């Protein structure tokens, strides 16, 4: 888990909705978390201080096309994987990376870059996560490229700002990020009342990634239909794609974890 809240402690009995560790281990999984703030503080002025400045002179600007905090968090997940594959109690072929919201963006980027992750779970990741940039606000006031760059200028490369008001000129979009997980499992979790993340947009990206999975014979999304909205509070599972739409607002909850833990992440 990429934990941007710094909310996961070392107590194996903790059982919050956000990180129900005892429930996860009781289901037969191991649980590990990386504190995103120890990799790149979520701060526009201090995000470089923990790790990024170890790789680039602290007194020089980063190149405009260099990754920022989101990329650093994904890098941290891969460094955790470096350790996990040495642990004799862990099956390194069955490790998923999960993140919620901003960490859901990082989880997708980690899974896209590091094929050691057998699954990437993106919970309510929204703009520059699962939701298509070209969709704009989606008619529901969802977060846009311009808004996310203004609010969080330290998350993405500076070159991304060139597309603030011309998203139709982007050479790629978020469904292609999901598709980069193929043929490994990609998991999308949305919430009905999470307008900022635009759940319909997340749904559309999920569907649009399926043709790439189809190249591997894995294009079944598990959904009974491609119309919005699907049934709520129900997990849908295809051979390598999983989706659910939880009722309620932005959050990572026990109901989300129930779907993930019962979702048979590592088989087809």
Rounded average pLDDT over 133-153 = 97
User: Does residue 100 have an active-site annotation?
Assistant: no
Question: From the candidates 71, 100, 101, 127, which is the catalytic residue?
Answer: 101
Structural domains of the chain, with CATH: 2-261 (3.40.50.1820)
Residue 27, token pair as written in the block: 């289901």
Is residue 267 scored above 90 in pLDDT? no
Residue 171, token pair as written in the block: 């050479």
User: Does residue 56 have an active-site annotation?
Assistant: no
Is residue 242 scored above 90 in pLDDT? yes
Question: From the candidates 16, 22, 78, 250, which is the catalytic residue?
Answer: 250
Which tens digit of pLDDT belongs to each residue from 8-58?
A: 988 989 899 999 999 999 999 999 999 999 999 999 999 999 999 999 999
Which tens digit of pLDDT belongs to each residue from 179-233?
A: 999 999 999 999 999 999 999 999 999 999 999 999 999 999 999 999 999 999 9
Is residue 238 scored above 90 in pLDDT? yes
Residue 54 has a pLDDT of 96
The verdict on pTM exceeding 0.85 is yes
């Amino acid at each position: 888990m990429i934990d941007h809240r710094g909310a996961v402690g070392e107590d194996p009995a903790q059982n919050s909705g956000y990180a129900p560790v005892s429930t996860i281990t009781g289901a037969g999984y191991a649980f590990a978390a990386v504190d995103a703030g120890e990799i790149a503080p979520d701060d526009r002025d201090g995000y470089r201080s923990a790790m990024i400045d170890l790789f680039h002179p602290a007194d020089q600007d980063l190149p405009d096309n260099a990754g920022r905090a989101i990329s650093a968090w994904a890098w941290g997940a891969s460094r955790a994987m470096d350790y996990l594959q040495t642990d004799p109690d862990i099956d390194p072929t069955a490790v998923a990376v999960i993140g919620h919201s901003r960490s859901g963006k990082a989880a997708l980027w980690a899974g896209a870059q590091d094929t050691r992750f057998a699954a990437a779970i993106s919970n309510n990741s929204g703009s520059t996560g699962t939701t298509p940039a070209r969709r704009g606000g989606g008619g529901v006031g969802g977060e846009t490229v311009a808004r996310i760059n203004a609010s969080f200028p330290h998350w993405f490369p500076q070159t991304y700002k060139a597309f603030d008001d011309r998203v139709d000129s982007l050479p790629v979009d978020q469904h292609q990020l999901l598709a980069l997980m193929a043929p490994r499992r990609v998991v999308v979790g949305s919430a009905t009342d999470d307008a900022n993340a635009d759940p319909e947009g997340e749904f559309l990206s999920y569907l649009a990634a399926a043709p790439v999975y189809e190249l591997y014979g894995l294009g079944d999304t598990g959904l009974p239909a491609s119309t919005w909205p699907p049934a709520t509070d129900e997990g849908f599972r295809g051979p390598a794609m999983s989706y659910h739409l939880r009722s309620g607002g932005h959050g990572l909850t026990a109901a989300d974890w129930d779907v993930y833990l019962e979702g048979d992440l590592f088989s087809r």
